[in-house]
Amino acid sequence: MHYRKFTKLLLQWHQHENKREMPWKGEKDPYRVWLSEIILQQTRVEQGWAYYERFIKKYPSIQQLAKADDAEVFKLWEGLGYYTRCKNLLHTARFIVNEYNGKFPDSYEKITSLKGVGSYTASAIASFCFNLPYAVVDGNVLRILSRVFGIATPTDSAEGKKIFYELATKVLDTTNPGLFNQAIMDFGATVCKPVMPFCSTCSLNSICVAFKNAKVNALPVKEKVLKKKLRWFSYFIIEADDKILVRKRTGKDIWQNLFEFYLIETDANPLWNNESVTAFLNNQFNIRQFTIEKIRAAEPQHLTHQHIKGYFINVQLMNIPHILCSEENQWIELRFIKRLAFPGFINQNIQHKKMRPALF
């Protein structure tokens, strides 16, 4: 396992390439870090930024927030939603002022005992402000670790939570945990993104198992995905050298053991066009020479508990790229495609002159 190399490469990226700016970045004041983390718990950075600045301007210290009128604070919070966060914010500010004389607690255990503060927020405060060796573990971190180390255990399972927390602790730079935590959070937000990550120029692609095996879009795995009512499947029908790329579905999900094309699943409609397809092929696989033959919205399929929507994108490559040659990827001659069993969603949407698989 490349634990040390992972840490070294990530910190090098942070030092030389990380350009992400945020008003609380590098902050050592636990009040400000705590405030930013509470705002961002269920809010995008772009939206939370302005709220954070308004709060700091009106309540520059925890003492001033603690003395504030509830109605005023809720008015300032207006538009952020999830108002329990705001209630907890006031409760905790007053608790710290009353119980700790306005001084933010400096141990992980005391920080986690604060109302509205979970392990992630506590780790952020502990590492950023007090240089304590606690790893932050959120969606960004889980995604990076799952991809780089090739872990397919569901991140939201009991086993997965244990595995990923232990791994996050192993790769943590204990000499400067705050710097490392900031680096991994920023890396997940700007490079190793959920959809359309910048794999071809990624500083970690030399050790990334998912990149080497063209599995970036298959990781991380989440159990709760299987319970979604609406899922977006985008299939890339990739041809090269008179062959076509197929994969067998092996996970515990719909259509197990059936074949499919290269799949990207997204939470929302990806709205593919020539520009975004080009960016995907460039960034994901470093493929530069290709022809986009067709992009079409799929005919949706209703399953018992799920509704499947998506796209089919036909792409012609100059030759078979090395990155798409792995155990999971099978390049087969077009004439043999009819021998494979595909899900009905694919069969009802295939419109290729040489592809006539039997309906399944």
Q: Which of the pair, 6 or 25, is modelled with greater confidence? A: 6
Q: Which residues are catalytic?
A: 37
- Residue 228: pLDDT band with limits 50, 70, 90: low
Quote the pLDDT of residue 350. Answer: 76
- Residue 161: pLDDT band with limits 50, 70, 90: very high
Tell me the residue length of the chain: 360
SS (H, E, C) 89-127: HHHHHHHHHHHCCCCCCCCHHHHHCCCCCCHHHHHHHHH
Q: What is the DSSP string of 246-310?
A: EEE--SSSTTTT-EE-EEEEESS-----HHHHHHHHHHHH---SEEEEEEEEPPPEE-SS-EEEE
pLDDT exceeds cutoff 90 at 46: no
Query: CB under 8 Å to 240, separation ≥6 — which residues?
Result: 316, 317, 318, 319, 320, 321, 331
Domains and CATH numbers, the chain: 3-190 (1.10.340.30), 228-347 (3.90.79.10)
From 6-10, 21-25, 283-287, the region with the lowest mean pLDDT: 21-25
Tokens 């530069």 found at: 288
Taking the model in full, what pTM does it have? Answer: 0.80
Alpha carbon distances (Å) from 52 to 41, 138, 230, 292, 308? 12, 20, 34, 44, 38
Helix (H) / strand (E) element for 150: namely: none
Q: Please give the DSSP secondary-structure letter assigned to residue 15.
A: H
Do the Cβ atoms of 321 and 274 come closer than 8 Å? Answer: no
SS3 of residue 205 by DSSP: coil
CA distance 360 to 358: 6
Interval 153-172 mean pLDDT: 95
Question: Which two structure tokens, joined as six digits, stand for 333?
Answer: 């001659």
Quote the pLDDT of residue 182. Answer: 95
Interval 2-25 mean pLDDT: 92
In this predicted model, what pLDDT tens digit does every residue of 266-317 receive, in sequence order? 888 999 999 999 999 999 898 999 999 999 999 888 887 789 999 999 999 9
Torsion of CA 42, 45, 50, 53, to 10 degrees: 90
In this predicted model, what pLDDT tens digit does every residue of 99-134 receive, in sequence order? 999 999 999 999 999 999 999 999 999 999 999 999
From 31-35, 205-209, 270-274, 350-354, the region with the lowest mean pLDDT: 350-354
pLDDT exceeds cutoff 50 at 82: yes
